Amino acid sequence: MRTAPTILHLDMDAFFASVEQASKPSLRGKAVVVGGLGPRGVVATCSYEARVFGVHSAMPMGQARRLAPHAAYLVPRFELYRSISEQVMRLLRELSPLVEPLSLDEAFVDLEAGQAARDADSARLAGVKLRADIRTVTGLTGSVGLAASKMLAKIASEEAKPDGLVLIPPGTERAMLEPMTVRTLPGVGPATGDHLRRAGITTVGEIAEAGEDELVRLLGKAHGHALYAMALARDERPVVAERETKSVSVEDTYDVDIHDRVRVGVEVGRLADRCVRRLRASGLSGRTIVLKVRRYDFSTLTRSETLRGPTDDPAVVREAAARLLDSVDTTGGVRLLGVGVSGLADYTQEDLFAQAAGDVSEEPAEEPEAGPVEEQAPSPAERRWPAGHDVRHAELGHGWVQGSGLGRVTVRFETPYSEVGRVRTFPVDDPELAPADPLPLVSPVVRRPGGEPVGPSGGGGSARRVAG
């Protein structure tokens, strides 16, 4: 392990919810919950104000509404979140060539590899500057952990939340870890935690006291050895530069099971088109088309077809997905559908006739490990006016959807740089109201001919920065 705390872990604070608060002045300081809003939706993330009521990520949305009935419930805007994530990742890459993203809002950085830090003092300065740069560029806050290993840097950033910086000086790691709960260590989930608790082990210090042999007996060889090393603050894992994307996929969960076979086919075609758009946006193509179907009884089936060459042609992907659907019985109803492309490449196979005869394989029904909440399609009633999404009125300007139903849509007219806006209600088919692109969270600086900065409205002073 290193002798200096030159591994940095950045974790943006309540990222999706903070973006929504930064873009909507009326929601700042309020409870905000982002996720699927249907009966089967789950919480993607929530603001710290919502967490006071017990709301947390991956919670069923119905439970969240019972805990925090007065919170703002919004449909995710993934494209906006990705664009802001790219701004943050660019700042990290200015620090070092070794940046390991874990998700849209989280990453490790090897400061030593980029010569951004060599000791505790320079590492702290780098962390302070990074947090200031993130606030300047995005208007958001992030928490930073600095330590001599990845495990400890991640623990430090958790201790720093929200909007803080924690540095663990080398030599103090074990003393810091000993009183912490076993759930602090990576890989110790509820089941492992309960197993250790029944054996009388509840803290990291007690793991170290139990000894390696006892942990192997309790948890097995691989897990026991790894957990004992972590309890002793041993972690030699390097920061690995951005890994190649292995697959591109989209999936939708439906509020009501789909029984109509024709509609199932239409939904699969729509998902295939969305998947191809995402594939092309990444400059990729792929050889293997994957269909995922979760049926009414929660059984999940996957089917895949491998083409003779990579493609990004929507017709080819649609046809392959339709062939895979033919092999799945959907009689009892479908609650989730997904289409993905793997075997990625940065070129396409031009001979599309060769794609038609692929090798079809059947994969067992396996549930993936828990991960980020998938992008979900809103119900048909929401599709035009999803709660939280941007709109523009021909006369009243930019706003966002507070809610819709019964043929009406309610809009609050405000921007990231305005005061709290007024609310108006319109018919859902009002010709003067249209979906709009999100505005930047930080207002652009406009300069007078002499170079003096002015705000976006032309008034004097610097551009206003909005913190989430």
User: Residues within the annotated binding site for Mg(2+)?
Assistant: 11, 105
Element (H, E) at 86: helix 78-95
User: Is 106 one of the annotated active-site residues of the chain?
Assistant: yes
Whether the Cβ atoms of residue 264 and residue 330 lie closer than 8 Å to each other: yes
Helix and strand numbers, DSSP H then E, in the chain: 14, 20
The catalytic residue among 49, 100, 106, 374 is 106
Estimate the share of the chain in helix, then strand, then coil, as percent rounded to the nearest 5: 35, 25, 40
Cβ within 8 Å of residue 282, ≥6 positions away: 245, 248
Which residue is associated with the tokens 């010569």?
115
Q: Is residue 79 classed exposed, middle or buried when 0-12, 13-18 and 19+ CB atoms within 10 A define those classes?
A: exposed
Give the start-end residues of each E strand in 247-393: 247-258, 285-295, 300-311, 334-345, 359-363, 390-393
Q: How far is it, in rounded angstroms, from Cα 89 to Cα 108?
A: 10
List residues forming the annotated binding site: 11, 105
Tokens of 108: 């490790």
Can you say whether residue 333 is alpha, beta or left, with left for phi > 0 and alpha for psi between -120 and 50 degrees?
Answer: left
Cβ within 8 Å of residue 207, ≥6 positions away: 182, 185, 196, 201, 215, 227, 228, 231
Tell me the catalytic residues: 106
